[in-house]
Amino acid sequence: MAGADDDIRDAVEDQLTFDPDVDTAQSDITVKSVNGEVALDGTVSSYPQYLAAEAAARRVTGVRSLRNQLEVVLPPGDYRDDHTLTTTANDALALNHAVRVSVEAAAANGCITLTGTVRDGSARTAAGLLVAGLTGVRGVKNNIEVRADADEPRSW
């Protein structure tokens, strides 16, 4: 089985190297594979890279499960305090027409937690992706509920 694990590990490493959204020059990622269970360890310099590394690993044939244990270590110029992150995230949500007024963000240690309700999964996903790309974000916890009785979207 070691040969298959080596092949999977090599394939994941190749995906990470060739994925344009993963900056391998600014990251330190170690890949381990045992019986198709893959673990990503190390650091990346942004939350979008964290997500891209996870997606790249999942694309590899033979990966049965994935443990993404990467840590986001921001470059000094990208750090934002939690108050600034909270304000920035809520401003971005308020300006985005795909997200309902009832969605709110709060930051703690660089991780944004989203709460509120939306009518469908695409609005929930849109909110998560919107805040994930903000400078200074080290993680996103999407606790938005999907409910048919959620407020209608804003009309502009």
C-beta separation of 56 from 22 below 8 A: yes
CA distance 89 to 78: 15
**DSSP assignment of 5-73:** HHHHHHHHHHHHHH-TTS-TTS-EEEEEEETTEEEEEEEESSHHHHHHHHHHHHTSTT--EEEEEEEE-
pLDDT tens digits, one per residue of 82-121? 999 999 999 999 988 767 668 999 999 999 999 999 888 9
Give me the domains of the chain, ranges plus CATH numbers: 2-73 (3.30.1340.30), 78-146 (3.30.1340)
Q: Which residues contact 55 (CB under 8 A, 6 or more apart)?
A: 19
pLDDT tens digits, one per residue of 27-78? 899 999 999 999 999 999 999 999 999 999 999 999 999 999 999 999 999 9
Q: What's the confidence (pLDDT) of residue 156?
A: 42
